A and B are shown apart, each in its own frame.
Chain A
């Protein structure tokens, strides 16, 4: 089995089988990381361009390490956000990359749909590394991978996403992925940060965090952008903390074996207390490790080489 599309624009476009394929493919890659040599020759000769229109350290580094561990050549391009409006058009920049024979373009952009614009205009494989408030599919996939690894399943679990759902591409990708995999999804946050029509994606909304936490197997705490306060989406950080900070006391409402996740970077002491972030329930650093494995799997599968039954396939079944 292979992925149906040349691009990964969102989890919305993946079916359950494809998600499972990626999660399966990530496993052997992860097992590489405990070896002294973490590199396989799988994508030798391939070129990956990280085209980042937004500042990012962890996602860019994660993609870079993933590509390098697959022996691909990696180029990082950071485009300042001012040139989104001025400067060269996105399509022209993409075509330039294609002319340089980039096999993959990993794009991070502040505007939703920017990866779709590239995908429509280019033959290179486009991987969405986060576009506006739309999706961040590899983050969603690594969250699924982490949940499945820890809980041994996804189906039937109750997962709660807390915080700024409106501006969160991570939330969107998580919702698509979790629902396709058979989990129950809840969101909790102030009504001003819950986007309209979110129920249509199949999630429950509960503004009261203590109630929303009841019976939850996994809680995924989203980063709160402090500047949202200036848009009057909440009155003060102080009040936000009062109502939505994940504290030990609050977390006690969830199941005793609850898993605590955060896509990072954390605002310690704001949306999550240090006590929770550093507790055994938290798997935040493992999410980062898993991110590399999942991104390796995505690059690998999009390169069209994945044939799970073929024992001779180099790199992961050796």
Chain B
């Protein structure tokens, strides 16, 4: 038997409301038990004093870019970045080339992930063929091939009838419909939040209402159909309020936000740094505060990265011409620690629930996101005090389009374990760097 014991860590498992200093025993890739003073006979011992032991983190919104844009990211590089970030499972978005609107592409991704992936990969399929917003993709066939949700992420489904059908049709598969909420007619050629800052910079604005109109529409369609709506990357106070209300009246809606929406505002666009350009755009401090409240009161279920790799050639240009998106896997934990935990916006169990059991429940990922006996041994050991300089050259992702480069960050994954095997160890990484 291949045994591993993680000793003396603060074990936080939101799936069972556990939060105490104890040990975790793993054998043959499964969690055996969690408890005090577990005998370590024959097991590999990992000391976790002063560290947090959490179920492996699940990122429900990642762009792995393969197939089609391997210069930006591959399944190998993206999952390596995930492992470094403490993320043991990623849900990858379908805007690849070809897009994930057919079974062979799902199979290709799963096969590649099996061969080259450092962490688990769960593909998300398209809502419509080619994400063109015209005809539904073969959702049933995609489901059989292994998708865990559908989304036309990156482009909104503008046609309300098609969105209605998607929410309706997916009910038989219990698949969430992940909606990129954006009214294209309102966002038009916008590149940042509309307001005083966009006026000063002379950049075209995207009003908050571009997002909120679609959040409201999709909530109403979820109400009409009884389908499961998952609102992607919430960026405004208004969207938080809409989701809060929808949940209150019993509509099947869940939601995610991203680290940049609770840590940065439109003010950082100031110098036309294109690593502040993403969709939806960075908003204002009021939105940031509302998102933190939405996380705290459970309105927002998940924290996702929207990891969107782009090469330096693509990004280092005129603001209007640079693509939307930033990488986020490798900085996820730090932003959570610095912006949510240290500011006391969330407790550790609250924050981890949004990265473990909530994603697992929403996307029906069985046996993960928990440290329950019998679950797959995906575990993240977090050093909440671990400081580092966020440097371009240290990224494991193929792309380095991060707004946090040059900053001192705190909070990192000390060890990342997938299926009982360590796929990342900060100590090993440092050793390698020094040798």
| A54 CB within 8 Å of chain B | no
| A172/B202 in contact, CB under 8 A | yes
| A37 CB within 8 Å of chain B | no
Measured CA separation A129–B195 after assembly (Å): 24
| B318 CB within 8 Å of chain A | yes
Number of interface residues of B (CB under 8 A): 22
Which segment of A69-77, A107-115, A243-251, A297-305 sits at the interface? A107-115
Quote the shortest CB–CB distance from A37 to chain B (angstroms): 40
- Residue in chain B with minimal CB distance to A89: B317
| B272/A113 in contact, CB under 8 A | yes
**Extra pairs beyond A195-B198, A200-B196 (8, CB < 8 Å):** A85-B321, A111-B320, A116-B271, A117-B318, A120-B271, A132-B202, A133-B202, A197-B195
Q: Which chain B positions have C-beta within 8 A of A85?
A: 321
Q: Which chain B positions have C-beta within 8 A of A135?
A: 202
Q: Which chain A positions have C-beta within 8 A of B201?
A: 112-113, 134
Q: Which chain B positions have C-beta within 8 A of A116?
A: 271-272
Q: Which chain A positions have C-beta within 8 A of B205?
A: 195-196
Partner of A117 from the list B194, B203, B207, B317 (CB cut-off 8 Å) is: B317
| B196/A112 in contact, CB under 8 A | no
Q: Which chain B positions have C-beta within 8 A of A90?
A: 317-318
Tally inter-chain residue pairs, CB-CB below 8 A: 76
| B200/A172 in contact, CB under 8 A | yes
Measured CA separation A114–B201 after assembly (Å): 11
A134-B202, A135-B202, A172-B202 given; A112·B319 CB < 8 A: yes
- Residue in chain A with minimal CB distance to B320: A111
| A169/B317 in contact, CB under 8 A | no
Measured CA separation A265–B269 after assembly (Å): 32
Could you list 6 examples of A-B contacts with CB < 8 Å?
Answer: A91-B317, A112-B202, A112-B203, A112-B320, A132-B203, A134-B201
Q: Which chain A positions have C-beta within 8 A of B320?
A: 111-113, 132
- Residue in chain A with minimal CB distance to B203: A112
Q: Which chain A positions have C-beta within 8 A of B202?
A: 112-113, 131-135, 169, 172
Q: Which chain B positions have C-beta within 8 A of A114?
A: 318
| B199 CB within 8 Å of chain A | yes
User: Using an 8 Å CB-CB cutoff, how does the interface string of A112-156 with B read, 1 for contact, 0 for none?
Assistant: 111011001100000000011111000000000000000000000
Quote the shortest CB–CB distance from B173 to chain A (angstroms): 41
Interface residues of A in 184-212 (CB under 8 A from B): 195-201
Quote the shortest CB–CB distance from B322 to chain A (angstroms): 10
| A196/B319 in contact, CB under 8 A | no
- Residue in chain B with minimal CB distance to A118: B318
Quote the shortest CB–CB distance from A45 to chain B (angstroms): 32
Q: Which residues of B are interface residues toward A (Cβ below 8 A)?
A: 194-205, 207, 271-272, 313, 316-321
Partner of B316 from the list A91, A197, A200 (CB cut-off 8 Å) is: A91
Which of A109, A131, A195 has the most chain B CB atoms closer than 10 A to its own CB? A195
Q: Which chain B positions have C-beta within 8 A of A195?
A: 198-199, 205
Measured CA separation A12–B313 after assembly (Å): 29
Which of B196, B202, B205, B316 has the most chain A CB atoms closer than 10 A to its own CB? B202
- Residue in chain B with minimal CB distance to A112: B202
Q: Which residues of A are interface residues toward B (Cβ below 8 A)?
A: 12, 84-85, 89-91, 109, 111-114, 116-117, 120-121, 131-135, 169, 172, 195-201
Say whether chain B's binding surface is mostly helix, strand, loop, or mixed. Answer: loop
Measured CA separation A91–B314 after assembly (Å): 12
Q: Which 10 A-B pairs have the closest CB atoms?
A: A197-B196, A134-B202, A113-B272, A112-B202, A200-B196, A133-B202, A195-B199, A111-B318, A197-B195, A113-B319
Partner of B200 from the list A12, A111, A120 (CB cut-off 8 Å) is: A12
- Residue in chain A with minimal CB distance to B204: A133
Quote the shortest CB–CB distance from A71 to chain B (angstroms): 33
A196-B194, A196-B195 given; A113·B318 CB < 8 A: yes
| B321/A201 in contact, CB under 8 A | no
Quote the shortest CB–CB distance from B276 to chain A (angstroms): 11
| A196/B199 in contact, CB under 8 A | yes
| B272/A201 in contact, CB under 8 A | no
Q: Which chain B positions have C-beta within 8 A of A109?
A: 318
A113-B272, A116-B272 given; A197·B199 CB < 8 A: yes
Q: Which chain A positions have C-beta within 8 A of B313?
A: 89
Quote the shortest CB–CB distance from B191 to chain A (angstroms): 9
- Residue in chain B with minimal CB distance to A132: B202
Quote the shortest CB–CB distance from B270 to chain A (angstroms): 10
Q: Which chain A positions have C-beta within 8 A of B195?
A: 196-197
Measured CA separation A159–B201 after assembly (Å): 22
Q: Which chain B positions have C-beta within 8 A of A117?
A: 272, 316-319
Measured CA separation A143–B7 after assembly (Å): 72
Q: Which chain B positions have C-beta within 8 A of A132?
A: 202-203, 320
Q: Which chain A positions have C-beta within 8 A of B197?
A: 197
Which of B194, B201, B203, B313 has the most chain A CB atoms closer than 10 A to its own CB? B201
| A111/B194 in contact, CB under 8 A | no
Which of B196, B205, B271, B318 has the most chain A CB atoms closer than 10 A to its own CB? B318
| A198/B318 in contact, CB under 8 A | no
Measured CA separation A33–B434 after assembly (Å): 66
Measured CA separation A204–B195 after assembly (Å): 16
Measured CA separation A198–B199 after assembly (Å): 7
Q: Which chain A positions have C-beta within 8 A of B321?
A: 84-85, 111
Measured CA separation A121–B315 after assembly (Å): 13
- Residue in chain A with minimal CB distance to B195: A197
| A201/B319 in contact, CB under 8 A | no
Measured CA separation A111–B203 after assembly (Å): 8
Q: Which chain B positions have C-beta within 8 A of A84?
A: 318, 321
Quote the shortest CB–CB distance from A121 to chain B (angstroms): 8
Quote the shortest CB–CB distance from A90 to chain B (angstroms): 6
Quote the shortest CB–CB distance from A19 to chain B (angstroms): 17
- Residue in chain B with minimal CB distance to A175: B200
Measured CA separation A111–B199 after assembly (Å): 14
- Residue in chain B with minimal CB distance to A113: B272
Measured CA separation A176–B296 after assembly (Å): 41
Q: Which chain B positions have C-beta within 8 A of A121?
A: 316
Quote the shortest CB–CB distance from B132 to chain A (angstroms): 23
Quote the shortest CB–CB distance from B228 to chain A (angstroms): 35
- Residue in chain A with minimal CB distance to B199: A195
Measured CA separation A10–B56 after assembly (Å): 48
Q: Which chain B positions have C-beta within 8 A of A201?
A: 196, 199-200
Q: Which chain A positions have C-beta within 8 A of B200?
A: 12, 172, 201
Quote the shortest CB–CB distance from B320 to chain A (angstroms): 5
